[in-house]
Amino acid sequence: MCRKLKANGWLIPAVLWFAAMAMGDQTRSAADLYKDAAAAFERGQIPRAIQLYEQLLQLQPESVEVMTNLAVALVRAGQFDRAMALYEKALGLQPQNQIVRMNLALAWYKQGEYAKAAIELERLRTEHPENLQSLYLLADCYLRLDRNHDAVELLEPAYRSRPEDRAIDYALGTALIRDGQIRQGEVVIDRILKDGNTAEANLLLGSAQFASGDHKTAVATLRKAIDLNPEMPGAWSIYGRALLDDQDTDGAKKALRRALDADANDFDANLYLGGILRHEGNLEEADPYLERALKVRPGSVPARYQVGALNAARGKLEEALKDLELVARQSPDFEQVHVQLASLYQRLNRKEDSRREREIVLKLQAKEREAKIKPQP
């Protein structure tokens, strides 16, 4: 059997070379190397394990097992590029090897490359639909990529077939709420509430309250979730957003920093903390958070806008213009980007373009006022 290594992939065990005499001295040497490498890895002696696996790979250059174990050790050492190359080579030799594909997905995931991880996990789901770990991890990738509807479609069959699996319940409830399907999400919350007043139930309930605009109630409910389990993934991030919308900027910053201590690739925490810092004029401090947010979700309009606004404030006008014009094309009704563009064009002495952007802002503001006074059917 294969044994799972916490947060570092799956290590494939060595073949037992009991017939050493029949197989020659080289095989006995390989067996000893494999044993010593695995022992070094278990003791946390990662450089030593890498060295031994590299020696073993020289003896067995086509061994998928050796490639995979070396790659696992390289990931632990942060040498992702070398690890990825080994995983790709191993998959070239054994395309159906689900352990190798899972390890490749995990390596992408650990780098914050959720779109690439999702591609490998989707392949794994097609080839091995019974693999629950791929289900959980793919759902998490979809949520991190804001592909909430995809997460719902992925999880709903498992929700029906595995009624006692609270991990699926929680992921599906999160996806439904983020997708705007609040009523359906509340059905899932009710199922979780049967287990009592849990942190997970309060987090989902608070998320639903936040999505519906009841920020003050959401703050209290999310605080309850954190008090029950301060280590719950995603709790500090949504709590920080709720505090921000409730006008508690200092509390929001503390919560968002706590979220990033737990997960440096938390999109919302990077985006909102970076946005707060940019607004406060702390441009250099804001930069890495906003760049990380854009790296996690390259297609995110809010992240692209924040990076563009940051570059405008730093005087990097051409870089800012590229980002903000892209945002305006993607979201033509986003008023604030037109405000930024009007100012930016003025600074670039493009007066006609600046005038056009100011006119767009006035039209959007008039449209918003009209919508507010229009009687509801």
At 57, which CATH number?
Answer: 1.25.40.10
- What is the pLDDT of the chain when averaged over all its residues? 88
331 within a domain of the structure (yes/no): no
Query: How many of the other CB atoms lie within 10 Å of CB of 343?
Result: 17
Per-residue pLDDT, 18: 34
Q: Is 162 in contact with 152 (CB distance < 8 Å)?
A: no
d(CA 134, CA 124): 7
Which residues span the domain enclosing 73?
1-108
pLDDT of residue 13 exceeding 60, the answer is no
191 within a domain of the structure (yes/no): no
pLDDT of residue 226 exceeding 90, the answer is yes
Q: How would residue 376 be classed by pLDDT, with cut points 50, 70 and 90?
A: low
Least confident of 16-20, 49-53, 137-141, 173-177: 16-20
45 within a domain of the structure (yes/no): yes
31 within a domain of the structure (yes/no): yes
Q: What is the pLDDT of residues 268-291, one digit of tens each?
A: 999 999 999 999 999 999 999 999
Phi-psi domain of 13 (left: phi exceeds 0; alpha: psi -120 through 50; beta: other): beta
Query: Which two three-digit tokens encode residue 163?
Result: 């009624």
d(CA 249, CA 46): 42
Helix, strand and coil percent figures for the chain, each rounded to 5: 75, 0, 25
Give the DSSP per-residue string, 143-181. HHTT-HHHHHHHHHHHHHH-TT-HHHHHHHHHHHHHTT-
Give phi and psi for 258, each to the nearest 5. -65, -40
7 within a domain of the structure (yes/no): yes
101 within a domain of the structure (yes/no): yes
Q: How far is CA 36 from CA 4, 52, 53, 210, in A?
A: 19, 7, 9, 53
pLDDT of residue 162 exceeding 80, the answer is yes
Per-residue pLDDT, 21: 31
330 within a domain of the structure (yes/no): no
pLDDT of residue 34 exceeding 60, the answer is yes
Q: How far is CA 38 from CA 46, 66, 98, 111, in A?
A: 10, 11, 21, 24
Query: Which two three-digit tokens encode residue 352?
Result: 């006609």
Per-residue pLDDT, 125: 93
Total domain count, the chain: 1
308 within a domain of the structure (yes/no): no
pLDDT of residue 27 exceeding 70, the answer is no
User: What single-letter amino acid sits at 256?
Assistant: L
Give the distance between the most distant pair of CA atoms in the chain.
90
Per-residue pLDDT, 195: 78
Q: How would residue 374 be classed by pLDDT, with cut points 50, 70 and 90?
A: low
Average pLDDT over residues 66-86: 91
What's the whole-model pTM score? 0.76
